[in-house]
Amino acid sequence: MGGLDDHGGIIGDWMAPSPSPRSFFAAMLGETDVGSRTVPEPPKFDNNNDGGFTFPGPNRQVMSEIGDENQSGQMGNQVMKSGEFGEQKPSSRAGLVERMAARAGHNAPRLNTDIVKPSDASQNQQSQSPYLTIPPGLSPTSLLDSPVFLSNSLAQPSPTTGKFQFPPNGNSNGNGRSSLMFSDSSNRSKDNFFEEPNNTSFAFKPFPNSAPFLRGHVNPSPPFMSAQSFQHNEAFVQSEKQFQPQKIEPNQNYSLPIGNLEGSQKHLKEHHDDDADQRTSGDIANANSASADDGYNWRKYGQKQVKGSEYPRSYYKCTHPNCPVKKKVERSHEGHITEIIYKGAHNHPKLGPNRRSGNGSSGVLSDMQGDVNEQGGNSVDGSSVWGASMQHKGSNNWGQESNLEVTSSGLIMQGQNSGQFESSDAVDGSTTFSNDEEEDDRATHGSVSLGYDGEGDESESKRRRHTCQAPKKYFKEWQRGCIVVNVGNVTGDEDEEEHINPEKGPSLLIILLLSFPIAK
DNA sequence: AGCCTTTGACCAGCG
DNA sequence: TCGCTGGTCAAAGGC
């Protein structure tokens, strides 16, 4: 069993202790000109880009509120000072892939981001822009299935889903593991990827079906939630539990979900269908039920109007015997999913089509959940990383079945339909992901808002001043080891009680739980 | 018949 | 101890 040191090593191989989203994307794209940005361009909400989803590019000064270069440099220094992450030197211009290659001694295929560029790149200068525009055909899930989000043994072969395999790495034991995302168990499924002679590059293939979602229609219920985080967490669990007798080997012929990307495509399409249903019929329940199942069956066992939530929260259990997976779902009055919190990992393969497919409200939930559970699907013993991390607080029963002693960690990405990364009033990655319970406020700051509130009349600078407290909540959930996926509008208004307002238009709020250490 | 959702009640944790 | 809150149970009814 790996200890906490292992975890740190895992994490450290891949990212700074407090990686900022921009560095995160920088790593993804192999561009690490992270600290060199001066003044960030105003976020661009491309209204003409037929729904192109704009993420900040690697150069985006996410921490713009506090982010002058000095501070960025200070952050970098902090990163350097954290000994176990010594390889993450801010001076390094090498991208993640290059670092991987350097470390592993192979030529890591570089992520082909050409496809990510908008077709009219020459016009909008997106290619030079600090923003990364995801064209309509490319789902955020696809993007987030980046090399840093690997270890989905269920996903299609790709350097991002972890199906492509990495050669055995001499460093891949203990603190030398290439990353948390590429943790032990998943390594087995990836160990050969870069040995493939022709794998010199990888291009994300956009899914036409995903376009409707990206256009930001009514229903901000994308399935691209925290699939990667689940991947990671799942891998983390497996890493911790690699000696579990019931371990499901990623390489096994396992009738598990087809894959993340494919699943995403499916779910995206389904969501779009849901949207249509909702818009046309107004029957939310029917619209929800119109979505296809994700291979897991869910039974709603409760619903409650929780105080902190505008909308009632529904409780679902996986109907598979002995499967501990549960999920909490909040949805708006219109049926838009505003928050999903998953707990546990499936200890069984997907069950195939829901017996009552097309019936019941769990369907739409499953849409989003599907990608996630596809990650957890090959977890074992019903243990869950979230459960494990829950033990940090021990005040939540979710996941208590896990006896893992792990530190969960994560990156919280909060987004809205523009896809622009927007700094909160103080985005400080170095503190955002610290584990101090008292730093919930920092969690707010640390959330990276893809901020566009859909109202359009509020300047970015004004929005930036806002302090949406919602991420604080999510950070808490994250600390508790729960997967939190929130889809909806962040109003950004301090005075507003509700921060998630799907009724204000297309938007999405994604909480991605990744792999940043919680160091109690 | 089996599985689902709904919904009020119950329970446990917390301040 | 009490009230609040969130999570779960279980009966009832629908599909």
Residue among A194, A195, A174, A197 nearest A184 (CA)? A174
Question: What DSSP state is assigned to residue A174?
Answer: G
Residue A86 CA to residue A13 CA, distance in Å, equals 9
A361 touches strand B (CB under 7 A): yes
Q: What is the pLDDT of residue A341?
A: 84
Token pair belonging to A453: 């509130």
pTM for the structure as a whole: 0.36
**Are A87 and A99 in contact, with CB atoms under 8 Å apart?**
yes
| N-to-C CA span, chain A | 20
Q: Are A189 and A163 in contact (CB under 8 A)?
A: yes
Cβ of residue A307 near strand C, that is under 7 Å? Answer: yes
Report the pLDDT value the prediction gives residue A193, as an integer from 0 to 100: 33
Nucleotide nearest A394, CA–C1', reads: B13
Residue A315, CB, strand C, below 7 Å: yes
Strand C footprint nucleotides (protein C-beta < 7 Å): 4-10, 15
Residue A306 confidence (pLDDT):
82
pLDDT at A333: 63
Q: If you ran DSSP here, which 8-state letter would residue A156 be given?
A: P
Domains of chain A: 298-343 (2.20.25.80)
**Which residue in this structure is represented by tokens 């929780």?**
A306
Extract the tokens encoding A389.
């991390």
Whether A202 contacts A488, CB under 8 Å: no
Nearest nucleotide to the CA of A477, by C1', is C6
Which value, to the nearest 10 degrees, does the dihedral of the CA atoms of residues A88, A16, A519, A343 take?
-130
A294 conformational bin, left if phi > 0, alpha if psi -120 to 50, beta if neither: alpha
Q: How far is the CA of A363 from the C1' of B7 (A)?
A: 20
Q: Which nucleotide is nearest to A300 (CA to C1')?
A: B5
Question: In this structure, is the CB of residue A472 within 7 Å of any atom belonging to strand C?
Answer: no
Answer for A438: CB within 7 Å of strand B: no
Q: Is the CB of residue A23 inside 7 Å of nucleic acid strand B?
A: no
Q: Which residue is nearest to nucleotide B9 (CA to C1')?
A: A302
Whether A319 CB is under 7 Å from strand B? yes
Q: CA of A303 vs C1' of B10, distance in Å? A: 14
Listed in sequence order, the residues at least 6 apart from A197 whose beta carbon sits closer than 8 Å to its beta carbon are: none
Distance in Å, residue A295 CA to nucleotide C12 C1' = 28
Q: What's the pLDDT score for residue A361?
A: 38
A302/C11 CA-to-C1' distance in Å: 13
**Which residue carries 């959930």 as its tokens?**
A477
A400 touches strand C (CB under 7 A): no
What is the spatial distance, in angstroms and rounded to an integer, between the CA atom of A32 and the C1' atom of C13?
A: 59
Tell me the C-alpha to C-alpha distance, in Å, between residue A329 and each of A104, A208, A362: 41, 28, 9
Smallest CA-to-CA distance from A379 within A350, A354, A345 is with: A345
CA distance A209 to A49: 17
Q: CA-to-C1' distance for A203 and B7, Å?
A: 49
Give the closest nucleotide to A312 (alpha carbon vs C1'): C6
What is d(CA A40, CA A520) in angstroms, rounded to the nearest whole number?
34
Q: What is the distance in angstroms measured between the alpha-carbon CA of A308 and the sugar C1' of C2?
A: 21
Tell me, in Å, how far CA of A301 is from C1' of C8? 8
Query: How many other CB atoms sit within 10 Å of the CB of residue A461?
Result: 9
What b-and-e string marks burial along A172-192, b requiring 16 or more CB atoms within 10 Å of the CB?
beebebbbbbbbbbbbbbbbe
Strand B proximity: list residues 284-303 of A with CB under 7 Å.
Answer: 285, 297-303
Question: What SS3 class is residue A427?
Answer: coil
pLDDT (tens digit, 0 to 9) for every residue of chain A, 520 residues total? 433 333 333 333 333 334 444 443 344 434 333 333 333 333 333 333 333 333 333 333 333 333 333 333 333 333 333 333 333 333 334 344 344 444 444 443 343 433 333 333 334 433 333 333 334 444 444 434 333 333 333 333 333 333 333 333 333 333 333 332 333 333 333 333 333 333 333 333 333 333 333 333 333 333 333 333 333 333 333 333 333 333 333 333 333 333 333 333 333 333 333 333 333 333 333 333 333 345 678 889 998 888 777 778 889 888 887 788 888 888 776 667 777 888 888 877 776 544 444 333 343 334 343 333 333 333 333 333 333 333 333 333 333 333 333 333 333 333 333 333 333 333 333 333 333 333 333 333 333 333 333 333 333 333 333 333 344 444 444 444 444 444 444 333 333 333 334 333 333 343 333 333 333 3
Pairing of strands A110-112, A201-203: parallel
Helix%, strand%, coil% for chain A, nearest 5: 35, 10, 55
**Distance measured from the CA of protein residue A387 to the C1' of nucleotide B4, in angstroms:** 27
Q: Which residue is nearest to nucleotide C15 (CA to C1')?
A: A359
Give, in order, the Cα–Cα distances in Å from A239 to each of A276, A299, A399.
42, 30, 17
Q: Looking at strand B, which nucleotides approach a protein CB closer than 7 A?
A: 3-9, 13-14
DSSP A113-132: -GGGS-TTHHHH-TTTSSEE
Look at residue A49 and give its three-state secondary structure. Answer: coil
Å between CA of A274 and C1' of C15: 21
Q: Which nucleotide is nearest to A396 (CA to C1')?
A: B13
DSSP-derived secondary structure letter, A168 = P
Helix (H, G, I), strand (E, B) or coil at A412: coil
